[in-house]
Structure 1
Amino acid sequence: MTLRENDPRSVGGYRIEARIGTGGMGVVYLGRSVSGRAVAVKVVHARYADNAEFRARFRQEIAAARRVSGAFTAPVVDADADAERPWMATAFVPGVTLADRVTDSGPLDWPSLRRLGTELAEALREIHRAEVVHRDLKPGNVLLLEGGSEDGAVRVIDFGISRAASSDVRTQTGIVMGSPPFMAPEQFSRPREVGPAVDVFALGAVLVYAATGRSPFEAENAYLAAYNTVHSEPRLDGLPVPLRPLVSACLAKEPERRPTSGEALEMLTALPPRLPGREDGAGGPGPVRDPARERGARPSPGPVTTPTVPPASPAPPSPESGPPGRRRHRGKLWAALAAAAVLAAAAAMAVRSDHAPTSAAGTGGTADARAASRDVPSGWKPWRYDPRADADENSGIGPACTPGTLGVFCSSPRVALMRLDPATGRVDWTKPMVGAQPHTFSLSRPVVHDGVVYAAAADRSEGIDAFGAGTGERLWHLDGPVGTYAYLSGVLLVRLDQPGPSDTARYAAYEPRTGEELWRRKLTSGSANPFHAGSRGILYADLRGGSGGIARLDARTGRTLRTLKAPQGDLWLATVHDDTAYYARWEGGTGSSAALYAQDLGDGAIRRIDFPWSVTPEAPPLVHGDVMYVFDYDNETLLALDLKRGKPLWTSSRSLRVFSEPAVHGDRLYVLLPDTSVLALDPRTGEEIGRTAPAFDTEGRSFEELTPSELPPLRVGGVLYAVTEPGVFSVADVR
């Protein structure tokens, strides 16, 4: 675009050559430095230069762009927020916007669409790691590089209305910032409270646009588009089937139901490089398969209504029972809550990444969205893996496995890590232990998160190795010996000291992908694993037994932000959810609990919730929305509690022996049964939806000989993965 009469000929020493575009806050020019370097110079409109609000917002844009500059954005070269007309210069990136590309050439083919989604999700992950929220991701702010180099084909530009998570600058009253129809519902209803989830919503909308040439909430004008976004289900017709589960999850109305940008990246990298039936991988989505219809109608199992009245109080536990760390249960006590942290992270990931959009009334998404979210991937067939085949003859220990969206990852006495293909169950690759002798130390399950797998070091130093989940490439190594480790609030948290008689230990936090040490500190706690994940980069540390109370920490720096007084008594901090701590109260050291205490970690307020009978919540309970699901190990019973009313909702039938922790995925709650079948329940009523066939033959083994699973079933799309004592298996979801 040629320069206009009133356009500047020089800004900040940069010679202005042409207009690139005009935005809501200013004009973007093509400029040249003294050395001839091409830059994009953004100059705030004159009418906004004297407005303190917009000047502050422009300072935010400069700060945000500088924080996330790198492989996914245009790096900031120079800026002056105090100039008469504030300006910012970034490296000039030759290319076209996604909006122009679709307008000129039509929707993207599958390989281009898959690459766009992967690189966009990776860009958002880095933006969110820098604690920045873009808030205006749209096709016009996605730049496609000319040629699509090996260094990436996508750049995210224009941080004009972005803000740091800690920023105090807020949207003015009555002004909605963003670009319908790529804005999330909360940007219309509560714009002061938006977080990274709005960018994930926009990612889903941008992918629909790239695949179909329209927004999922397309309308005649911005007002109708805003209405559709808040009240209507997205239009996903024309979207390739493999993308529908992810896009449906991204476009969920409630932000807490959406995947994080890292989880979206993990789902996108797992997509097939080619569409089924297309040799070149290009073209449109093709017809939508309905596997249920292809198989013919299946008989619907009659629902089993669970009692709403709690069962009679069971006999008291044996005297050897006690709080976690001091008691032994045949159901395999969590030796360290790190395993529970992995479980919680995996469950949360699956909940968000598979959940279809829900209406304002919370009744679920469209039938099309629900069906698409349960499609099985191309090439998948039910499989099972018997760990006894890889067990060490002398130790008798088989692999410890953790399922994830990119595969099932197992460690054994002789193998540091191996990946089972999620479609076939075959071993894809292995990382053998150094030397011929098996492990001499405790075997722990691999930790899987955000495309990285953490496992016991292959050099037998009792350290940690980090591997890429897809390729098995070792990313970094931490020398041992170390204690437990877990992924919490965006960092890998490691106990540097081995468990011992002292309650004081050293802890360190590491950058998950690089192994860079972020901080380390020593603290005293009566808990073997005192850390719990909070919201948006917050950690909570249980300091009871030391300085006392619950400390709120910055996960990236380890700095203590505040400390709250904890409830008094013999309480176990069972879990933290939505910045609320839930404590189980032990009865005279028996390990059974008569009540639960919920503490708001904002104001410190505490309330008691009585259990209907004495339960044994040996592992952390699952909190989903306003409901807590507690697995009572002593009774093999699942209890659902309404946390708002403090009342039991339902309990599973006493004739139905639950054999694992529960997991909620979409509109279903899943548990394992002793015969290695997966049971699906309605999480609101406890009614049975259906169950899968047993994966392993447990005939001839008594109930007492079997061990409950430490992990709940994981659902990815229309496939369930489960880890049981007899082995690991994958089956189609209950229809």
Structure 2
Amino acid sequence: MTPQRSTGAGAEAELPEYAGHYPLESCLGSGGMGVVHLARSTSGLKLAVKVVHAEFARDPEFRGRFRQEVAAARRVSGAFTAPVVDADPEAARPWMATLFIPGPTLSEHVKRNGPMPAAQLRRLMAGLAEALRDIHRVGVVHRDLKPSNVLLAEDGPKVIDFGISRPKDSELRTETGKLIGTPPFMAPEQFRRPREVGPAADIFALGSVLVHAATGRGPFDSDSPYVVAYQVVHDEPDLTGVPESLAPLVLRCLAKEPEDRPTPDELMRELRSVAASYDTQAFIPAQRTGDDAPAPEPSGAGPAPGPRGRFGRRAALAAGALVLALGAVLTGLLWPGDGGGPAAGRTTAPATAAKVTAWRAKPPGKGSGMPLCVDGAGTLLCFRSGLAYALDPTHGTLLWRRSVAGERTSGTPAFSGGLLLVPTDGGRRVVALDPASGAPRWQRDMSGPGGMQSTGGMLLVTGADGTVTGLAGASGDTKWHRRVAGQGTPALASYAGDPLAYAASASADGAYTLVSAVDPGSGGTRWQARLKGTLQPIGSQGGSLFLLAVDPATGEANAVVRYTPGSKAVRRVALSVPLMAPQADVRGDAVHLLAAGGSLYALDLGTGKQLWHVETSVSRGSAPVSSAGHVYFTAPDGRLLAFDAHDGSLVGQTPPRLDTNAGEVAGVLPTPLLAGARVCAASPDGTVFGVAARDPAGW
């Protein structure tokens, strides 16, 4: 069948014929992020294939969002979702194929059949609670649960669409112009503190979905998304028409504060008390047939028109409410682009603190990409597109600049032996520059190194044969050349303030990891330990080494381990959910992990507890760094974000600073640097900037 032309707003005039090797038979629906097609596998299995709009396929941030959607959908594939069959988020037009589920969306069902009776509402609420329980168990927050994202299959409701950016869902946008949900089904914190959204936001959405299913409208109802936003934050929900047996439970779901809402397990217990048993008959009263059954509605579709009792009663106040709502939304209810206002959180600079002036340094010379910078004994030493330069961290003043003769950088520069060391030519060469002038001091060709690490004034280079060479950072002279006992081809790691370097290699079955502590001055092994599980070093503090425990089958981290060689004590703190590719910061006993997809976790290895976690809504981030009671990291769009180290709340963020070449994506996101009273970061447009570390609310 030839693909149908799309008539949806903003969709392409001519749709693609294939997604990967799947021929697309017909268009099922168009949403803000892409178009959903009916397709079939080689064996004839029916699939629903989502293909990203061409205009967004060219946007690196949207590609990141789609990768996150695919990862989330794969993680939660199960009884309550549409299982992912195949996907290619790196294709010219990224796509994802899920199992075709016959059945209408909840929105379609209510439009066609009217409000659901109480028995069906109980089954719907129980099914969605079970779905959210499974979704939250694997660390995913849906953030956009709404009637058009609920399919009514014969065996119960299925939650679909794990994308969190939908440019055509409404008029409400984040600071980068991308939406975080659909206003009638968003929780108050999604407007007030959009990057603190956790599982409780899905519970609020469930309450709104139940009201829609029971009445044909939402608990907060208006044609204007701005008015809806104001109502969600300030007004009480209108539950007129919701069955009395369910109204108290729905009202708890719609509590303004996340901590006042029930968990999915609590919902299921409450529902069992409402009805001693559930009707197990087919969920859908009128099953549709044909290929048009599960078409997701265009994302911009809102609730069906229905009774507007609350607004009828407030007709005399409509004009004033609209003015107040617009004013509140535009000046304080939503988050401003510079990261100020309510979204910036509660932490402010102490009244007695000295004023710290922010600065921003434009990139010298031509080139593209994010600068890679290191702290060079009080000077910011940076490298970008073959150009090395130094900045004063107090004022951002350019101190010197020097071209590194047509060399291509490969990896992050290092500061060792009082010199700036720049790895080039795929790591096969190192150029050493004087931090005061940029003048070259020495350069060395490396023979196929397997890795390079700077520590203790030494440069440790691992060759392809596993032999490690120790070079003096100040001169480039070879000081030693040897193997590390028990380590094949060690990837050495080092950490600020620790005089040792560390290597870790797991056994073939993942049962144990051999950890070696290497003296960078001599290459000798200070100590070795055989620790349980597959472990990766992430930091050291106070004589202890911190490691991630990784599942060898999935590559996901499931715990943080602290090993103290003096006492040989081991403490293991399990993560509440497995994390993919987390980057870590260790400060005292506190460990902060930022995972792929933007989940930020805090653990206390002293008490052995996980303290908190937040979903930052950043597709990926740099390694985090903590100081002054905050956790900082950089986003792909150039924002520097700060979260409260005590409770995980967002306390500030800088504006995005994107490269003019939107098709270029930074392979490495530089870790923010702490320089006195400032935290310094780089952005894709090439600028380096410094802001007050203790005052993220003022960024």
TM-score category (smaller protein): 0.3 to 0.5
TM, length-normalised to structure 2: 0.44
Given the two structures, how large is their TM-score scaled by the length of structure 1? 0.42
| Greater RCO, CA 8 A, separation 6+ | 2
